[in-house]
């Protein structure tokens, strides 16, 4: 049996395990060391009366600083076996071991100290009050010294592991390509970084916010929000962070501030963070400085991508405007192409290329003379031949680029008047010989022309449009994409509503 | 005086400092411990015969494992003072101290062990052969244990510091916006990461390479290259890295492989790296995985930016082609605008916006009827009025965007026919009321028109062009930019050579 007997000090006591089969030894040791203090800390004793019992205690309690270990107990070398087991099997290198033997002949000092990883060897007879005291003092001081270094090692290790998590989290953040994914990813990574448990995650009220002039836009949030997230009090603190450009932790709310080259402030708000340690705050700061860079990059990429898309749409508009076909034709076509491509399972990247390239399909009409392009009546054979040149002209305008979008635009411009049965122009291509993109554009183009008023026709009712599309499926149009369009007609109509003429 | 006496073992010996004013004690100790081994390591002794001498030795040699310390030497407590000084002033917490006193009454055990941070206390009389041996054994074992933890702590610390350098280097890399800066920055950061000294930096033959199909493009290199960098042998190893997708270090050359989402392999070659430790290789790997992401991002951004630039140029081409003004007019204009803006000290960002926007200056001509645009002879008054609408039409096409490039393009399209003296159209703006961009575009446009053949005129000789530009400076054109063009005429002519009609 073992029990804990403590003198009640203010500082945690040093835990000493007494292992001896003679109860008297326990009592005398306790008594002798009752006034012991090292660094203001007293002793607390744990008792074991056999080697087996000592092992149980040691396996259970990892914070034992010192063991006084008898040699001869249930066997002649029971104590030595405990010493061996501690270092080898339990892999405990820190607890100090003082061997205390009553029969030195049984365990000769030199042999024992060489063969067993013990720290001191005493014969019971030599352990008078003074020696017991000084032995304990020296052993505990050695334990203290080694634990001080061990704690420093662990601190370095935790910091190192934290930095590794920061690097992994940053890698994730830097791979995001749009603002929404970035913001969501950021919060997830912060949660992972702080090793918040599920229960704490639910309590976490967190949001990333950009502050433009006076308003905050919430980009992402995780966790239950009861009541408004941006309370007047929180808003005051956000403004404070923004104005003073500082990060601070107050109460249960952490507000991380980081400026951006774009001139927009961004703020990371963590609510419900009551116990965040210094290390985590430091890691958070390291992480946030990377986030600020990623954020800048995202905004820049987004700006360029948006500019590109807008440029293409305006280019498409310009071409359409020459044919007096104003309105949102090219915007709707781009969206319907996106709809059909997505529905067919095309990759996100290819879908984006198609969407951006589609508005340029009629670019060749730029070279069609006014006399043909703007003729109010029906074209004669010669005029029709001129009109039919626009796909080839479009190809010549867009040809020869290595850019995926321009390559796609070139093939679309060239092939969007081909027909599935081979009766189209300019090449008379048939079926799968027509590029996928061009087949999709053809469906979107015909659909849009039928659904809207043109100078030469009225808008058709939906039923008649669907009926017509079905009737030309396999002839003019690829039946697969006609089917997809009909299946997703609600979404197509929603696009038309979003971009009316 | 102190001197080193070593038995010559294969493993480094444990260094033991003997401090005693009686030479006999030194001799006996050495003799007694002459066959001592711990972990196969013998002892080497350092000798000091006074407290003062002991301090000198300890200050000089930081790797002393154990001190046997006499108490009474030049003073009654000279040994105790050495102990205090070691722990407090020298801040040496690791060396084990065994106090060895001949006059225990002078330094009572309990008082000494409490007041001085020593590890063992022995009276000289009790130190027989066995006790001296076991005391030394226990003390050195304690030293070994604490140093093991200390080394682990230092390792963690070095790794942590390395990761901090990786994070700083990555931050730098992620802030680069173009491939060239990225590649140069990468090499600089690798050099910083590996803490290479100046002399090693000069020896470093390093290059980042992208492998497309079968060729390697050198993006950046640092250090002296004697002979071809990509020797046949190195090429074989590069191919090997590429095919097997592996990073490897062989001889003095480190080849880091990292794949990219774009499908292009990138390789980091470090030559002259003979001694790179395991930790550095690990840090390099962590760094390179971040670099791969940054590289992907750079390529993506570059791709979008290049696509955007190409789109705008092709849009400009399309407009020009309607006026039968084929050739490279818009490309040259974009470059000359860039030249003038840079020369005027405009920021890189603003210069890039101007360069990208300039090709769209005539976009309004898209709506000009063929009858006017393509009329071979002189326009009559009515036709001229129609022609003069193109800046306003251009504005209407490009207006209302929030994108910097489109905003710039709109103002350029609208104002590029304004004249510095207020005699231009459509608004009759004067001097600085004309947007900077439009004034620059006007100079570039007139210069290009004069230098090249048009359907209505021949190319003028350079002298006549310069003379004309000077004559209209202050009237048609902003004299400041005319001056800049004339000052940089060589660069402008180089642009014309690069993009001939």
Q: Which residues of A touch B397 (CB under 8 A)?
A: 314, 317-318, 321
pLDDT band at A35 (very low <50, low <70, confident <90, very high): very high
In a domain, B166, yes or no: no
pLDDT given at position A245? 77
Task: Identify the bridge partners of residue B121 per DSSP, sorted by sequence position.
Answer: B99
The answer to whether position B277 is within a domain reads yes
Q: Which chain B residues contact residue A321 at CB under 8 A?
A: 366-367, 397
Instruction: Please check whether residue B408 lies inside any domain of the structure.
Output: yes
Q: What is the predicted ipTM?
A: 0.73
β-strand partners of B457: B454
Question: Which has the higher per-residue pLDDT, B267 or A475?
Answer: A475
Question: Quick check: B370 and A366 CB within 8 A?
Answer: no
Same domain, yes or no: B267 and B231 = yes
Nearest chain A alpha carbon to B288: A171
Question: Of the candidates A132, A149, A166, which is a domain's last residue?
Answer: A149
Average pLDDT estimate for A80-100: 95
- A162 within some domain: no
B122 neighbourhood in chain A, CB within 8 Å: none
Contact B311 A312 (CB under 8 A): yes
Distance (Å, whole) CA A237 – CA A211: 13
**Option in B145, B160, B296 nearest A146 (CB):** B145
Q: Are B358 and B312 in contact (CB under 8 A)?
A: no
- What is the reported pLDDT for A138? 92
Give B94's contacts in chain A (Cβ within 8 Å).
145
Which residues in chain B have their CB less than 8 angstroms from residue A294's CB? 174
Joined together, the tokens standing for residue B36 give 């001592």
% of chain A beyond a pLDDT of 70: 87
- List CB contacts of B368: < 8 A, sequence separation 6 or more: B386, B387, B389, B390, B393
Neighbours of B493 (CB within 10 A): 12
On whether residue B310 sits in a domain, the answer given is: no
Shared domain for A434 and A328, answered yes or no, is yes
Dmax of chain A from CA atoms?
Answer: 127
d(CA A18, CA A32): 13
CB contacts < 8 Å between A and B, how many?
A: 196
B425 burial (CB, 10 Å; 0-12 / 13-18 / 19+) is middle
Contact B290 A371 (CB under 8 A): no
For residue A439, which of A392, A484, A487, A396 has the smallest C-alpha distance?
A484
Whether A256 and A340 share a structural domain: no
Instruction: Convert the pLDDT of each residue in A41-53 to its tens digit.
Output: 999 999 999 999 9
A306 assigned to some structural domain: no
A chain contacts of residue B401, beta-carbon cutoff 8 Å: 310, 314
Confidence of residue A408 (pLDDT cuts 50, 70, 90): very high
Domain co-membership, B402 together with B338: yes
- CATH number of the domain to which B257 belongs: 3.30.450
Instruction: Indicate whether A348 and A461 sit together in one domain.
Output: yes
Residues A132 and A233 in one domain: no
Average pLDDT over residues A469-477: 96
Q: Do B366 and A120 lie within an 8 Å CB cutoff?
A: no
Q: Which residue of chain A is at minimal alpha-carbon distance from B93?
A: A145
Residues B354 and B456 in one domain: yes
- Do B275 and B343 reside in the same domain of the chain? no
Of B109, B297, B405, the CB nearest to A174: B297
- pLDDT average, residue stretch A412-433: 96
CATH of the domain at B69: 3.40.50.2300
- In angstroms, what separates the C-alpha of B369 from chain A's closest C-alpha? 7
Mean pLDDT of chain A: 85
- pLDDT tens for residues A297-343? 887 788 888 888 888 888 888 788 777 665 788 899 999 999 999 99
Question: What pLDDT shows up at residue A297?
Answer: 82
Do the chains contact at B289 and A170, CB–CB below 8 Å?
A: no
Contact A167 B163 (CB under 8 A): yes
- What is the CATH number for A334? 1.10.3210.10
Rounded to the nearest 5°, which phi and psi values hold at A321?
-65, -30
Do residues B355 and B433 both lie within one domain? yes
Check if the beta carbon of residue A470 is closer than 8 Å to that of residue A486. yes
Number of C-alpha atoms within 13 angstroms, CB side, residue A333? 33
Closest Cβ opposite residue B403 in set A113, A159, A310: A310
DSSP string, A444-493: HHHHHHHHS-BTTBPPPPHHHHHHHHHHHBTTTB-HHHHHHHHHTHHHHH
B182-191 contacts: CB < 8 A, separation 24 or more? B182/B294, B182/B295, B182/B298, B183/B208, B183/B219, B183/B220, B184/B220, B186/B220, B186/B268, B186/B291, B187/B220, B187/B221, B187/B222, B188/B222, B189/B287, B190/B268, B190/B270, B190/B284, B190/B287, B191/B222
Q: What is the pLDDT of residue A196?
A: 52
Q: Give the residue-averaged pLDDT of A368-390.
A: 90
Closest CB to B305: pick one of A120, A148, A304: A304
Q: What is the mean pLDDT of each run of 10 residues along chain B (501 residues)?
A: 46 95 95 93 96 97 96 94 96 94 83 91 88 93 93 90 85 79 74 54 43 57 59 76 77 73 68 72 80 80 82 81 74 95 94 93 88 87 94 90 89 97 96 96 95 85 96 96 96 94 81
Inter-chain touch B367–A321, beta carbons under 8 Å: yes
- Return the pLDDT at A205: 36
A479-498 pLDDT tens trace: 999 999 999 999 999 999 99
Query: Within a domain: residue A377?
Result: yes
Q: Which residue has the tokens 């007997």?
A: A5
Higher pLDDT, A294 or B259: A294
How much is the pLDDT for A215?
A: 61
A330 and A463 co-located in one domain: yes
Positive or negative CA dihedral for B378, B381, B386, B390?
A: positive
Minimum distance, in Å, between the CA of residue A130 and any CA atom of chain B:
6
The boundaries of the domain holding residue B375 are 323-498
Asked if the structure places residue B420 within a domain, the reply is yes
Q: Number of folded domains in chain B?
A: 3
Q: Are residues B335 and B466 in the same domain?
A: yes
Question: Most confidently modeled of A111-115, A209-213, A456-460, B6-10?
Answer: A111-115
**B266 or A473, greater pLDDT:** A473
Q: What is the pLDDT of residue B135?
A: 93
Which of A358 and B106 is assigned the larger pLDDT?
A358
Would you call A305 and B304 a contact, using CB atoms and an 8 Å cutoff? yes
Residue ranges of E strands in B191-261: 205-211, 216-222, 248-250, 253-258
| A186 and A279 part of one domain | yes
Active site residue B365: yes
Q: β-strand A253-258 against A265-271: which pairing, if any? A: antiparallel
């Amino acid at each position: 049996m073992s029990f804990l007997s403590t003198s009640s000090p203010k500082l945690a006591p040093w835990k000493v395990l007494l292992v001896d089969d003679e109860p008297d030894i326990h009592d005398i040791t306790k008594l002798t060391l009752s006034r012991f203090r090292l660094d203001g800390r007293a002793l607390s004793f744990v008792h074991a009366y056999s080697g087996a019992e000592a092992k149980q205690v040691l396996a259970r309690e990892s914070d034992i600083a010192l063991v006084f270990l008898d040699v001869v107990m249930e066997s002649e070398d029971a104590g030595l076996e405990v010493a061996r087991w501690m270092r080898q099997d339990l892999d405990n290198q820190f607890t100090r071991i003082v061997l205390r033997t009553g029969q030195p002949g049984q365990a000769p000092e030199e042999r024992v100290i060489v063969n067993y990883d013990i720290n001191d060897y005493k014969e019971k007879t030599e352990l008078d009050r003074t020696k017991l005291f000084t032995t304990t003092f020296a052993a505990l001081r050695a334990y203290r010294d080694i634990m001080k270094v061990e704690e420093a090692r662990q601190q370095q290790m935790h910091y190192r592991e934290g930095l590794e998590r920061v690097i992994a989290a940053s890698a994730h953040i830097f791979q995001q390509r749009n603002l929404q994914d970035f913001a969501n990813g950021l919060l997830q990574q912060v949660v992972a970084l702080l090793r918040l448990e599920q229960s704490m995650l639910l309590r976490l009220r967190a949001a990333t916010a950009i502050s433009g002039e006076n308003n905050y836009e919430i980009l992402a949030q995780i966790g239950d929000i009861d009541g408004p997230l941006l309370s007047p009090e929180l808003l005051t603190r956000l403004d404070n962070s923004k104005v003073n450009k500082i990060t601070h932790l107050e109460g249960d709310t952490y507000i991380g501030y980081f400026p951006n080259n774009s001139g927009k402030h961004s703020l990371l708000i963590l609510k419900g963070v009551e116990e965040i340690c210094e290390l985590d705050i430091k890691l958070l700061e390291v992480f946030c400085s990377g986030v600020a860079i990623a954020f800048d990059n995202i905004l820049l990429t987004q700006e360029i991508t948006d500019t590109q898309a807008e440029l293409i749409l305006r280019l498409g508009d310009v071409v359409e405007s020459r044919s007096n076909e104003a309105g949102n034709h090219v915007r709707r076509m781009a969206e319907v192409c996106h709809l059909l491509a997505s529905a067919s399972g095309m990759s996100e990247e290819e879908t984006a290329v198609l969407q951006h390239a589609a508005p340029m399909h009629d670019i060749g009409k730029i070279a069609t003379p006014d006399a043909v392009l703007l003729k109010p009546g029906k074209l004669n054979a010669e005029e029709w031949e001129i009109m039919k040149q626009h796909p080839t002209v479009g190809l010549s305008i867009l040809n020869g680029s290595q850019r995926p979008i321009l390559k796609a635009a070139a093939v679309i411009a060239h092939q969007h008047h081909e027909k599935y049965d081979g009766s189209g122009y300019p090449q008379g291509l048939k079926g799968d010989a027509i590029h996928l993109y061009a087949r999709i554009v053809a469906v979107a183009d015909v659909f849009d022309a039928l659904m809207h008023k043109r100078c030469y026709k009225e808008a058709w009712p939906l039923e008649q449009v669907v009926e017509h599309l079905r009737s030309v499926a396999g002839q003019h149009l690829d039946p697969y994409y006609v089917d997809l369009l009909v299946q997703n007609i609600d979404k197509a109509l929603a696009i038309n509503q979003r971009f009316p003429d």
